[in-house]
A and B are shown apart, each in its own frame.
Chain A
């Protein structure tokens, strides 16, 4: 893996297993860049904001090809402007949450304003920021990717076998849907913060392969074209996915072709009855093959990084 294309300073979370930034970093390295990780939350906690600011400034003095700030919440935007050294060093603000989260971290809107480029994984989030700032210059809608070496179909392990599984953190809505499924008599498994255990890497694949279907629930449904990258991960594992419908999702995945949408408890139980209880294994397999092909051919980190490099001209 050469690093002839120069340095990328990636400011994010690169010291936690399963962090999205890790796969982003891997794709940058695969594309020939040398990635310098800056774990801003850890550094803030360990040394405080001044050290973080000075560290970033010091790194900017080495003239990296790009300084990419992922979320970067709780940090004064001023540091982004300062490190850009009057646009000598290109900066990219990367935001992968929905509007509800964004409204709780208003500094991120200022980050977008001060960075040379910024991107949002939800189209609705991009539009919201554009409206707030009053300009669309240097701002893009770029979805997350998946790492197809990490997320992929695997063998079925008995302990992970179930009718339907969910991976993600617990919240009221998710608990509600899971309870509806349990009450209907299905064998349900849930993993993640607030459930049995958090799973990363290949365990994720084993869960996906063990379940007849995976349940996908977004964090918010009123944002246009915003959904969790988990659906990509499920897809890359060749899972058969039930996804609660969200606006704009059809643009990426066709109902009953790539996955199956539901809108409420009743429709979830209906599709569960058809595909799981009536055991339509062949139909499930055909649909999961489609999403697998779509995800690994389109929504990969390699493609995302290509897009970033092309926009930033690096």
Chain B
């Protein structure tokens, strides 16, 4: 196939971890879509609920087939692996082949350029490829839903996403720690608990000033999370997929974990404000809820101060900077260094030759 014959670019199938889709895959696809395949139609295959990651650059989104999602595979890096498979494993070859065949049903092989995700635990994209980042935005429907959820509150919103995955379960903060943190937060904030039934703590947590969205499942879960992030003062997460979503929504993010540089800098592609608390000796079970609450308070105050600076710059633009602009324009016209007599002699059109 000649490159000039290409009329479609096809990204996928992506069946790996949300974090890998967020921090590596989708921004690379966006870059290639906008920089290399500008005039082509674009398609992508991923889990149905991940559609918001692609919304701004894909013409047709195709969900992974039901037979595949029904397999109950676990996500590991770019892969979907059999439950209990060791870390760094790959999708069984026959499933992968079948998945590729499923993809081929959706495009014309003769005119489509296919871009597959790297395989396994692979760092090639962030090390060698170019990416293009854009803040995630929710659909109007998700915004409406979140507006209706928050209609009754005047409090600022904090989103809590309490990781409790069976994979790498040593990275789960104990549920009682999360309980204490959420209870502490509700003294000042409206709290929204997000996540999924199978990967989160606080699944049944309810209470005054708490909205628990975990029971809400379905394809629009990520969309709603993005809409919530856009309304939130900050998020509180422990180094998981929602952390990356928060960073990509530019929601100030308080993160507990063991890789501060990765989440605050390396994979904080939009320079979202963050505060990172290292788990003591990387032991998540040792995280202290009082310290978390004290951090959150300090982070909140810092954010308020930063907002104050933006407000000041905003006022300056309309007043002080505008007045400087006018005086400089006037200075340009001002006939300085010229006496009144010289001004009278000025010739506007037709200059005397020296």
Q: Could you tell me which A residues sit within 8 Å of B by CB distance?
A: 14-19, 22-23, 25-26, 35-39, 43, 47, 49-51, 53-55, 58-59, 76, 78, 81-82, 86, 110, 113, 133-135, 147, 149-150, 152-157, 161, 200-203, 206, 209-212, 237-238, 281, 284-285, 288-289, 292
Contact = CB atoms under 8 A, between A and B. Distances in A.
Contacts of A288: 351
Given A51-B310, A135-B38, A153-B348, A202 B336 contact: yes
B331 A201 contact: yes
B334 A202 contact: yes
B332 interface: yes
Contact of A285 (B322, B324, B347, B353): B353
Contact of A155 (B35, B137, B309, B346): B346
A50 B325 contact: no
A20 to B, nearest CB: 11
B89 interface: no
Contacts of B348: 152-153
Nearest to B34: A113
Given A37-B322, A78-B134, A238-B351, A51 B306 contact: yes
A37 B134 CA distance: 25
12 contacts: A17-B331, A36-B317, A54-B310, A110-B132, A135-B38, A135-B39, A161-B354, A201-B333, A201-B334, A201-B336, A202-B337, A209-B354
Contacts of B132: 110
Given A22-B328, A55-B310, A202-B335, 8 more contacts: A14-B321, A23-B329, A26-B329, A153-B351, A154-B347, A156-B354, A202-B333, A238-B351
Nearest to A137: B38
Interface of B: 34-35, 38-39, 132-135, 137, 270-271, 273, 306-307, 309-310, 313-314, 317-318, 321-322, 324-325, 328-329, 331-338, 342, 345-354
Contact of B349 (A153, A209, A211): A153
Contacts of A47: 309, 313
Contacts of B38: 133-135
Contacts of A22: 325, 328-329, 332
A278 B306 CA distance: 66
Given A25-B329, A200-B332, A202-B336, A78 B133 contact: yes
B351 A154 contact: yes
B40 to A, nearest CB: 10
A17 B271 CA distance: 33
A147 B329 CA distance: 10
Contact of B317 (A17, A55, A147, A149): A55
B303 to A, nearest CB: 11
A210 B336 contact: no
A14 B271 contact: no
A28 to B, nearest CB: 11
B352 to A, nearest CB: 6
B314 A55 contact: yes
B321 A147 contact: no
Given A37-B317, A153-B349, A155-B342, A211 B332 contact: no
Contact of B135 (A78, A147, A154, A281): A78
Given A25-B329, A202-B335, A51 B313 contact: yes
Contact of A14 (B39, B133, B325, B351): B325
Contacts of B336: 201-203
A284 B135 CA distance: 58
A204 to B, nearest CB: 9
A294 to B, nearest CB: 13
A159 B236 CA distance: 68
B321 A238 contact: no
A114 B147 CA distance: 29
A201 B334 CA distance: 7
Nearest to B36: A134
Contacts of B35: 113, 133
B83 to A, nearest CB: 38
Contacts of A39: 321
B321 A37 contact: yes
Contacts of B354: 156, 161, 209-212
A284 B321 contact: no
A76 B135 CA distance: 12
Contacts of B134: 78, 81-82
Contacts of B318: 36
Contacts of A200: 331-332
Contact of B332 (A135, A201, A206, A238): A201
B350 A153 contact: yes
Contacts of B353: 212, 281, 284-285
Contacts of A14: 321, 324-325, 328
B349 A292 contact: yes
A291 to B, nearest CB: 12
B328 A17 contact: yes
B325 A18 contact: no
